[in-house]
């Protein structure tokens, strides 16, 4: 009986094997951090509370790999900017993508050849970017490399002081509901990061009801650059 008791005590204090968590049972968090004027921010401290911390790279990107599923808080901080935090969930086998905009403006980086990597916001099968119109008004655009023209909503056109009427030049546009004629105007400037295009031709018309963007970013802007859409890294690279 004494030998059995001792043996049982030894078994009770042996470590209990924990099943290994394979890649399929873990998640990941990837994202980017930009300033209010759409400058990618390097050296931002990013903390996934309860898991770990990292800093953004030269393209404003950060990654947490091998994250156990669960609920977390993401804390983002950089000197000179108000802190940012949000609650988020991580799911097994899923890479959660987070795009963070810190309030405040940053100096535009200097670069050779005017090259910029602009963060993409994924919305279903579409990719959205933030642009600065006429150096004063921020706008959201769906990137459309198949569109000949950039388009802006009638509301944005009014804010920019662009007026169109029955005498304005028009082009034919094919929509889901049929063919329509829409007015053509010119925008003084469109900035993405530290690259700018001036006197950009745009179409002025409203996207279908419920759209949360200000228009489509088409080739009247994109054709001025060498364009690379990188959905894996979550950036639109523009180089002139």
Q: What is the pLDDT of residue 182?
A: 92
Band the pLDDT of 3: cuts 50, 70, 90: very low
CATH number of the domain at 187, please. Answer: 2.40.70.10
Same domain, residue pair 173 and 143: yes
The pLDDT of residue 59 is above 50: yes
| Same domain as 113, residue 69 | no
Q: What is the CATH number of the domain that holds 48?
A: 2.60.40.10
**Do residues 179 and 65 both lie within one domain?**
no
101 and 7 share one domain: yes
pTM over 0.95: no
Same domain, 121 and 99: no
pLDDT tens-digit map of 33-57: 999 887 889 899 999 999 999 999 8
Domain with 61 in it:
1-107
Which backbone phi and psi does 148 adopt, to 5 degrees?
-70, -35
Confidence (pLDDT) at 7: 41
Number of structural domains, the chain? 2
Contact 60, 40 (CB under 8 A): yes
pLDDT digits (tens, 9 = 90+) for 73-85: 999 999 889 999 9
């Amino acid at each position: 009986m004494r030998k059995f008791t001792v043996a049982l005590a030894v078994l009770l204090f042996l470590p209990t094997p924990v099943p290994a968590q394979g890649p399929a049972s873990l998640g990941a968090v990837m994202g980017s951090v930009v300033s209010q004027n759409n400058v990618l921010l390097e050296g931002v401290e990013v903390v996934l509370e309860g898991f770990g911390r990292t800093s953004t790279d030269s393209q404003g990107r950060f990654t947490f790999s091998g994250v156990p599923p669960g609920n977390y808080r993401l804390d983002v901080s950089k000197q000179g900017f108000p802190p940012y935090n949000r609650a988020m969930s991580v799911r097994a086998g899923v890479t959660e993508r987070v795009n963070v905009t810190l309030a405040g403006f940053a100096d535009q980086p200097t670069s050779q050849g005017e090259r910029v990597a602009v963060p993409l916001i994924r919305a279903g099968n579409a990719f959205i970017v933030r642009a600065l119109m006429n150096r004063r008004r921020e706008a959201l655009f769906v990137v459309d490399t198949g569109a000949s023209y950039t388009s802006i909503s009638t509301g944005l056109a009014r804010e920019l002081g662009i007026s169109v009427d029955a005498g304005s030049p028009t082009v034919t546009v094919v929509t889901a509901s049929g063919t329509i004629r829409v007015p053509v105007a010119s925008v003084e400037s469109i900035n993405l990061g530290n690259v700018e295009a001036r006197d950009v031709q745009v179409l002025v018309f409203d996207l279908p009801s419920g759209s949360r963007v200000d228009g489509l970013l088409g080739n009247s802007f994109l054709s001025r650059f060498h364009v690379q859409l990188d959905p894996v890294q979550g950036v639109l690279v523009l180089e002139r």
